[in-house]
Structure formats: structure tokens, C-alpha cells
Amino acid sequence: MGAVAIDCTLGQAGHARQILERITPGGRLLGIDRDPRAVEAVRVALAQYGPAVVIVQGRFSELGSIGAQNGFAKADLILFDFGLSSNQIDDPERGFSFRGEGPLDMRMDPTAGVTAATIVNESDVREIERMIREYGEERWARRIAQFIVARRPLRTTRDLAEAVEAAIPKAAWPRDINVSTRAFQGLRIAVNDELGEIEAGLRAALMTLKPGGRMATISFHSLEDRLVKSFFNVESKDCICPPQQPVCTCGHRATLRIVTRRPVRPSEDEVAANPRARSARLRVAEKI
């Protein structure tokens, strides 16, 4: 029997194709993506693999039920490649990018949930500040939130970028990234509940893996990587009682063995070929 794989972030199916080349004939792959447009495009692109591939539009936090309903209740390999695909970032109509002008949307699934416009136009100033500070790791979050509220209603990505540009004094603009990068990241993570998705997705993946099966995660920023690192650390320990406690009362048992002690970073060649990979971190763990 071939391997059973689940790609939780199908995107443009670059990874799925690589996996399919290695597990077929005999193996099967379930591909999940919350973006209906990505799913439709990939259905056509992967048609050559026939019944070896099942593609489902949905969120990976629902991996347990999606897997069970589609004959993938147990898997040997589960992959997460967090964040956005180039197609999503580069399409101004999706509202993710501060370059160009588009509606202030930012939903990976444009059929569900609230848009970034609703959040910036209707939320309390303190709530906007929190999202930009916590999820964007932006130290100018308070001023940005105040400028956003003063300029309401914001309708386009340009309106948001201009509010950020006006809020941060020119002398403090970062040199290595666009001045709006962090604020856009913060709102995008909030719109899509990306951190909640990761926490639930990792737990679901652990339940779905067969003993000896592996999960691999690719993170693009420290908030994502921190969640994976801490999940792997906790799940690889036999006891998670506070260190000052003399006797174990938690009864916790390790369920994972960490395969990559340190995250794997892309080589210089890979970054030269694909600059967007520069901040990627790969972590792998095996189910015990």
C-alpha cells in the first residue's frame, strides 16, 4: 500500500505535486484549501492523478471531519505551508497587498467571514490597535489605529496604506520592509483567525497521524513558528508540570518526537530563485 498524505494548504499545488510524484502509484493525497479559487484551479491542474487525489475546500482546523468524510481518517504525512500564496498576494482584487489598489477585503475565503474593511471601519480603536500590535508586531500600532479611525471610512488597500504612512514618522520607516507590511499582516491574521486555525490544525493533525507518521510545517513569521515550536515541545514531553513542582500530577505522555531540533531554513540558492522563501522555517515531528 502507498502512503496516505494530506496537504492542508494546497495553494497552487507545488508541494502536492512533489508529494504525488513520490507516493503514486499506490498512494493517495487529500488536498485542502480554504480559498475556493485556489481549489478550482488545482482541481484542473491535478486531474491527471485521477482518484489518487481528493480536493476539498475548507479550513484545516476542520481536518478531523474533512479527513473522516473523505476516506482520510488516518495519514502518514500531513503538511502545512502557512500564510498566503503568491496568487493571493499578487491579485489586487483580494485586498492583501499595499502595492496597487483594491478593495479592503483580505479574506482567504471571500465567501465567509468579515472583511478587513468591516474591521477597520467598525471596530473600537483599542481593538484595531491590539490586532496591529499583537498580530503585526508593529510598535506604532496605537498611532496607526488612531489615524485609521480618524480617516474612516476606509474602502481600499491604498486608503489603509496611506493611513499607515501618515501615522509613522518618516524617520522611523523600516528600511528592509514596506512601512505598511506589519499593519497589513496584523489585519490579515485577524480577518482569517490565522493563529486560531494553526492551533486547531496542529491538534487535528496529531489526532489524524498514524504512529510513525510525520507532520511538517512551513512558517513565514515568528508568530506562526512560535505556535508550532511550542506545540511540538509540549507534545514531545512526558510531563508538562511546572518545573518547581516536585511530583508529576499532569499525567501527560509524549505523542510526538521532534525530527528537526532547529528549524530548516532555505539555502541561498533557493532564496535567490524564490525571494519570498527567505523567511521560511520548516519543522517536522513524528507521531509516537
Nearest to 136 by CA among 179, 92, 166: 179
38: contact with ligand SAM by CB under 6 A: yes
- Point out which residues pair with 4 in neighbouring strands: 28
Q: How many residues contact ligand SAM, by CB under 6 A?
A: 19
- Binding-site member from 105, 129, 138, 197 for ligand SAM (CB under 6 A): 197
34, exposed or middle or buried, with CB in 10 Å at 0-12, 13-18, 19+? buried
Q: Look at residue 15 and give its three-state secondary structure.
A: helix
| 81 interacts with ligand SAM by CB under 6 A | yes
| Backbone dihedral angles phi then psi of residue 82, each to the nearest 5 degrees | -65, 165
Q: How far is the CB of 192 from ligand SAM (least distance, A)?
A: 6
Which of 4, 28, 34, 105 is the binder for ligand SAM (CB under 6 A)? 34
32 is a site residue for ligand SAM (CB under 6 A): yes
Report in angstroms how near the CB of residue 253 gets to ligand SAM at its nearest: 28
Q: Tell me if 96 contacts ligand SAM by CB under 6 A.
A: no
Show the CA angle centred on residue 52, arms to residues 280 and 216, nearest 5°. Answer: 25
Of residues 97 and 163, the one with the C-beta less far from ligand SAM: 97
- Helix, coil or strand: residue 3: coil
Residue 115 in the binding site for ligand SAM (CB under 6 A): no
- Specify the residue, 14 or 153, whose C-beta has the smaller distance to ligand SAM: 14
Least distance from ligand SAM to the Cβ atom of residue 212, Å? 24
In angstroms, what is the minimal distance from the CB of 220 to ligand SAM? 8
Q: Which of 35, 129, 224, 225 binds ligand SAM (CB under 6 A)?
A: 35
Residue 173, class by beta-carbon neighbours within 10 Å (0-12 exposed, 13-18 middle, 19+ buried)? middle
Nearest residue (beta carbon) to ligand SAM = 11
Closest residue by Cα to residue 263 from 237, 235, 226, 212 = 226
| Number of residues that make up the chain | 288
27, 67, 83, 213: which one binds ligand SAM (CB under 6 A)? 83
Q: What are the CA-CA distances from residue 27 to residues 10, 70, 262 (Å)?
A: 17, 15, 30
C-alpha 164/C-alpha 145 separation (Å) is 9
Q: Is 31 in the site for ligand SAM (CB under 6 A)?
A: no
CB 239, min distance to ligand SAM, A: 31
Q: Which residues contact 118 (CB under 8 A, 6 or more apart)?
A: none
Minimum Å gap between C-beta 226 and ligand SAM is 17
* Interaction between residue 224 and ligand SAM (CB under 6 A): no
The residues that touch ligand SAM, with contacts defined as CB under 6 A, are 9, 11-15, 32-35, 38, 59-60, 81, 83-85, 108, 197
